[in-house]
Amino acid sequence: MLESIANIEGFMEGVESLEEFKSDKMLCHAVVYNLQCIGEGAYMLSKDFVAQHIEIDWAAIAGLRHVLVHDYYQVDIETVWWVVQKDLAPLKDYIGQICRIK
């Protein structure tokens, strides 16, 4: 998950606006793919792990993956933008904390 987050951060470097993001189809596809990877990682977590780390809505992350994979042509790229802008940094921080504990 951390690798996919780092990929997205790298891809998004210098992208300042939703309009700029939306206008770059390759960028959008790269970000969506990495969000799918993050969601797959969340989906594969054990029930015990999820129960021990309730601060993150793992089901919502996995659910986003299902939407991105199965309803691909209905994906709202503005929603993708806001997920990247608002949700990625806290997830990265939380996963980083978990990795440092182990």
Distance between CA atoms of 4 and 42, rounded to whole angstroms?
12
Please indicate whether residue 65 is annotated as part of the active site.
yes
Angle between helices 88-101 and 2-12 (to 10 degrees): 140
Give whole-number Cα distances, 44 to 1, 38, 39, in Å.
Answer: 11, 10, 9
| Token pair of 83 as six digits | 């997920």
Which of 29, 65, 66, 100 is catalytic? The answer is 65
In the structure encoding, which two tokens stand for residue 85, read together?
Answer: 């802008």
> Are 51 and 45 spatial neighbours (Cβ–Cβ below 8 Å)?
no
Q: Which among 29, 53, 66, 70 is annotated as catalytic?
A: 70
Q: Annotated active-site positions, please?
A: 65, 70
